[in-house]
Amino acid sequence: MPIMRFLIMNGAGNRFAVFDARGNKGFVISEEKVKIICKPGSSVMGEKGADQLIIIRDPKAAGADAFMEIWNQKGFQVDACGNATRCVGWLYMRDHITDSMVLETNAGLLLCAAAGKNQVAVDMGAPKLEWNQIPLKEPMHTHHVDVKLGPIDNPVLHNPGAVNMGNPHCVFFVEDFERAQPDKVGSMIEFHPLFPEQVNVGFAIVKSRDKIRLKVWERGVGMTLACGTGACAAVVAAVRQKRTDRRVEVEVDGGTLQIEWRESDDHVIMTGPVELESEGSI
């Protein structure tokens, strides 16, 4: 088996095991191996484990510089991860001494650009907002979707916005996390029958027109310190419900992300930090 570059990186605390498989078409990984590597306490990732396992591959599409394959902690592939996009984009730009690159994912091509020391901006593209793009089980408006938790006359959670930012999200706007209990109810909503592909669940406190505090339960992972696509989805949902302006600072447990939903082209721009924890070979 050839030696491969291996890195541990995080974006705002969202932690990744990164395999650089460019030039190594024969490298494959199994669902069970992903679970073993990502599990907290593993010999590879240590006590914290990894939220996702990332494989960097040679690009498939014209105009792309690299392809990113994303596996979550539970061993299945997903199409998008905003924090991992920043990490891989930063790595490519560092290695190739450039200030921009195009990263290919199953969700499409994403333009990454340097935005300061260990900061990367990613054009996440336009959000998908139709019911069958989320996807939902049945037709309905996605500004608010019919999901409630708690007593009918006084639900604890209700009327989340639904957004697809490369993967499905529903975002609840809450007064406080203690009452919402995201770590307890996240799994219930992830598997709600309205979402046939499961869903990432955001819990957002709007502090002002330009600031949100966010926690995210990621499908197949659980609570994480940060979720880049979740931060993008929260801002889109907040704007659609007239809660915030289009440029918002999103505070997550692992740090701060700057999100702008541009009116000019409908694209969402995410800017945030990258940290390289270790680099070696495996």
Instruction: Tell which residue, 15, 87, 101, has the closest CA to residue 53.
Output: 15
| Statement: residue 69 has pLDDT above 90 | yes
Mean pLDDT of 32-57: 94
pLDDT digits (tens, 9 = 90+) for 220-231: 899 999 999 999
Half-sphere CA count of 125, side-chain side, radius 13 A: 21
Cα–Cα dist 253/259, whole Å: 16
Instruction: Tell which residue, 206, 214, 243, 181, has the closest CA to residue 83.
Output: 214
Cα–Cα dist 80/106, whole Å: 7
| Statement: residue 2 has pLDDT above 80 | no
User: What's the pLDDT band for 3 if we cut at 50, 70, 90?
Assistant: confident
| Statement: residue 56 has pLDDT above 70 | yes
Contacting residues for 36 by C-beta, under 8 A, at least 6 apart: 42
User: What local confidence, expressed as pLDDT, does residue 197 receive?
Assistant: 95
User: What local confidence, expressed as pLDDT, does residue 219 receive?
Assistant: 94
Find the range with the poorest average confidence among 6-10, 45-49, 51-55, 124-128.
45-49
Helix or strand or coil: residue 170? strand
| Statement: residue 245 has pLDDT above 90 | yes
Given a contact cutoff of 8 angstroms between Cβ atoms, the answer to whether 235 and 259 are in contact is: yes
Structural domains present in the chain: 5-124+273-281 (3.10.310.10), 148-266 (3.10.310.10)
User: What local confidence, expressed as pLDDT, does residue 152 receive?
Assistant: 81
User: What local confidence, expressed as pLDDT, does residue 108 receive?
Assistant: 92
Cα–Cα dist 144/141, whole Å: 7
The phi and psi torsions of 24 (rounded to 5 degrees) equal -130, 75
Cα separation of the two ends of the chain: 10
Which active-site residues does the annotation give? Answer: 81, 227
Question: What integer best gives the mean pLDDT of the chain?
Answer: 95
Cα–Cα dist 214/83, whole Å: 15
Global pTM reads 0.93
Distances (CA, A) of 116 to 29, 55, 100, 183, 274: 34, 25, 12, 34, 11
Instruction: Tell which residue, 199, 169, 197, has the closest CA to residue 187.
Output: 199
Cα–Cα dist 276/282, whole Å: 16
Distance of CA 72 to the CA centre of its chain: 11
Mean pLDDT of 174-183: 95
Given a contact cutoff of 8 angstroms between Cβ atoms, the answer to whether 212 and 239 are in contact is: no
pLDDT more than 90, % of the chain: 92
Instruction: Tell which residue, 244, 178, 164, 173, has the closest CA to residue 202.
Output: 173
